[in-house]
Amino acid sequence: MDALPSSPLEWLCTGVTLLFGVTVLCMVKRSPVEKADVLVWRVLPALLGLLCVATLGAGVGLVVFCAGCLISSMYLGVRALLPVGDKAVLITGSDTGIGHALAKYLDSLGFVVFAGVLNENGPGAEELRRTCSQRLSLLQLDITNATQVKEAYLKVSEKVQNTGLWGVVNNAGILGIPADAELLPMRTYRQCMEVNFFGAVEVSKIFLPLLRKSRGRLVNMSSMAGGIPLPRYAAYSASKAALSMFSGVMRQELSKWGIKVAAIHPSGFRTGIEGTSDQWDKQIKELMENLPAATRQDYGEDYLLGLKSYLLHIPAYCSADLSPVLSAALHALLAKKPHGLYTPGKGAYMYLCIFCYFPLWFYDFFISKMMSTESLPRALRTSEAESKNL
């Protein structure tokens, strides 16, 4: 058997494969962050094509090879990342949870990070000072405080000067107490909207001039609950849904400035947003004290106290591994072609698909089974008992 190609078509296959190999090596050298993706999605089609040439002949092999190259090129067109360079990113809510982990992660990759914290002397801020590089700057930033937002803008603009700010990650958020919508005080609805929506809008508006200079990225950390209705999350879901819609509108409006906008809808992750046991006790006590007498009678104190049991079980259903969210945020910040919506985490995309593409009755039935609780309000238990006795 000849070692060299014996026909023009085989020579063509060999030439294309060599050219492809040189391209792969160049891409790996330019994009070290994406080295694994490049090697897998570029080398695999090449090997497949050569195998097909050997087994099926040059004609069929070339067709399979070209098809593989096309698919891998489309995939890598989405996966390709820009170099970090000296890109500067502002992250709100960096005291704990996703914001804290993201600040550390981006700092380790070489970003210039501005970490906005609710308490610049708190344990989260101290840990960032201790573990991160000198590139990271801490900002006292309560996003519901217009004065602090403006002061943060002045500090950031002074440091980035003419280069602009590459990215803003609106991560700060609160959960409130998960409870039936009827039970939640109006204060909870207002607090969720103030932090999760109005605060993010305020930060976005203030920092957009810096994003225009760099033609950078606006990333809004929404939630799976911002895309689908979930029982007991009325206040939180409404505020996150508002943030998601804001992201969609901004994505359209800011495209003419070269600014790309993304919303991230994580599923359940263990971030500490649900609060502590002492905070739950205080919130449930306030909730019970402020309920109308008729409502308290219908629900029953045992049902209301059972809300704490529900809160205690939330972390058990959440993942402690934040890497899917961090990867989504990095892609939103650096991808040449970022997605408009990211759904990291177990079940996030599945729930959204069921809500969008299945009948609502099926979605409601599905959610009722997935999030069912044993306890019922007192009035419903009484009604069931009376029905059984008839």
Hey, which residues are catalytic here?
A: 236
> Residues near 16 by Cβ (< 8 Å), separated by ≥ 6?
62, 65
Buried b (16+ CB within 10 A) or exposed e, 30-53: ebeebeebbeebbeebbebbbebb
Burial of 147 (0-12, 13-18, 19+ CB in 10 A): exposed
**Which amino acid, one-letter code, is at 82?**
L
Which amino acid makes up residue 342? Answer: Y
Chain position carrying tokens 């590139």: 135
93: left (phi over 0), alpha (psi -120 to 50) or beta: left
The answer to whether 169 and 266 have CB atoms below 8 angstroms apart is: no
| Residues 304 and 183: beta-carbon distance below 8 Å | yes
* DSSP annotation of 269: B
Q: Tokens for 101, please give them.
A: 């982990």
Strands 260-264 and 217-221: what pairing? parallel
The neighbouring-strand residues paired with 263 are 220, 341
Cβ atoms within 10 Å, residue 201: 16
The span from the CA of 230 to the CA of 237, in Å, is: 7
Q: What angle do CA 87, 91, 93 make, to 5 degrees?
A: 170
Q: Environment class of residue 293 by beta-carbon count within 10 Å: exposed (0-12), middle (13-18) or buried (19+)?
A: exposed
**Structural contact between residues 339 and 331, judged by C-beta atoms closer than 8 angstroms:** yes
